[in-house]
Structure 1
Amino acid sequence: MPKRNDKRDTAKAEYVKRRRSGEKINLKEFAATLGVTYGTVRNWKKIDQWEDAIERKRGGQPGNKNSRGKKNAKGNPGGGAPDGNTNAEKDGAYSTIHLDRLTEEERAWLDAIPTGASANNAYELKLLRIQQRHIMEKIAEYEKCNPEELFTATITDMRKPGPDAEGKTADSAVQKMAMVNKDSAFVRVTQLREALNKVSGRIISLTTQIRQQEEFEKRYALELARLDIAKMRATGEVDIDPEGDEEDEEEAPHDKDSGAVS
């Protein structure tokens, strides 16, 4: 086995040290300072996993001055947003859900949602049917509107810093420009029909899944019945429900003394 190059460990230590300090290293120039070839240094870096040895600290890297002069949020000595902070959320569509932070109302709503495959499909199908109905009602409403009538779609409010009600400079205090985008009833009907097609497609897919599940359950029950019949034919044993009610046998009325039947 060839002897390990003495410069190999030294090269790794030097590389990791300089990279941790935030320095960018050119491997060719680094190899030249070591007195070895570029290919040798590149192989050492890959085999000995130099990059994995660089411990990156959370937050700004060495030399970063972006947060100089700024203070942490109140009650948060570690920097960054405190755990559970939701200040940056807009509508909650991309929120991280923590079960231990749900309200009682949210917990009750969550517990009421079915978790089984069949029950969950049926639950989702009901919601889609309601959504389908709302879209169809909205389409009918817009179809009755005047074709020339316009509806506000979006409003872009452009503002600049200026004095507020108290005379102090505040961000977005003065409106610079307002842009209003409108669309016609025809455009809205077109958009709603596209949404209706998506909902209807999902309804068809769910209906197919439910039907297939029902057919599978019927076939499964039929197969169990066939197995029971085959078992009875093979063994002569009949399974009796141990919890079934037993009927009391009543003696036929007769004359105990004479033995004659009246």
Structure 2
Amino acid sequence: MARKRDPKRDKAFELFKKSNGTVTNREIAKQLDVPEKTISAWKSRDKWNAVLQKDECSTANDDCSTTNKGGAPTGNQNAKGNRGNSRASPPPRNKNALKTGEYETIFEDFLSDEEREIYSDLSEDPFSVLSEEIKLLKIRQRRMMQRIKSAEENLGEEEIERLQQLRKVKEPTVIDGKVVTVKREALRDVQITRKQFRKIDNILAIEEALTRISNQLTKSIKQLNELSLSNGRVSLMEVQKQKMVFETEILEHKASKLVLKQGEQSKVQGLIDIGQALIGPIEEDEEVDSDESVEIID
């Protein structure tokens, strides 16, 4: 069975904490009537100095009244007089994280003259969204091809890093007609490091990204073509609709003429009926064929 924790252990840490770590182990031992070596062991096992810097409670104290708020301890003056570096952050719209250019952000005011000419041709027709995407993809594709070309031209480029230090050197100098050796400090190369760039890896990465951009460009062009065909079908349906309306108007015009003729016929028939009522029925001449006998006298 584990031995019960000594309550003086937490009291010792509280005394150490109240003094902000300035009290000695001997003074704590005298106040608590504990051997000095015991205080030293408690201090080492519970890591009093680390806990005090973090502003936490002792590791063995479950009822911790303080919490770690982070940052430097209260009253810390490590950064006193440090105004900071206003140029520490990179400038806006920098290209430090640019690798392949697949996800490069394109700003209008940073376009080249040729890219501005391409961008200025963007129209506001119903296909503007896809058209703009296709043009931006072409610009991105062109930039990536330029990066591949530049990387291939500098395939054997290497970086030289020089480490220089001030060293005392002796140099002969003429003073009053006499050659005197004078010691002075000068920068001398202490270490030279040559680093070969692995441009081939960059080229392969850009080529893979270029393949993805080309596939995306192909899909966008296909979508634009499908949209054009869809609009063509709509236009054809509109033409057929107008043709049907025109044919309907022609049929209605012919029907109106036919109704007019029937009205005129009924009007003429009405006049005939009136005439018959006034003068009576009109008798038709009957042709009677009579046989005449001809006598022949001998």
Q: Rg larger in 1 or in 2?
A: 2
TM-score range, shorter chain: 0.3 to 0.5
Q: What TM-score, normalized to structure 2?
A: 0.36
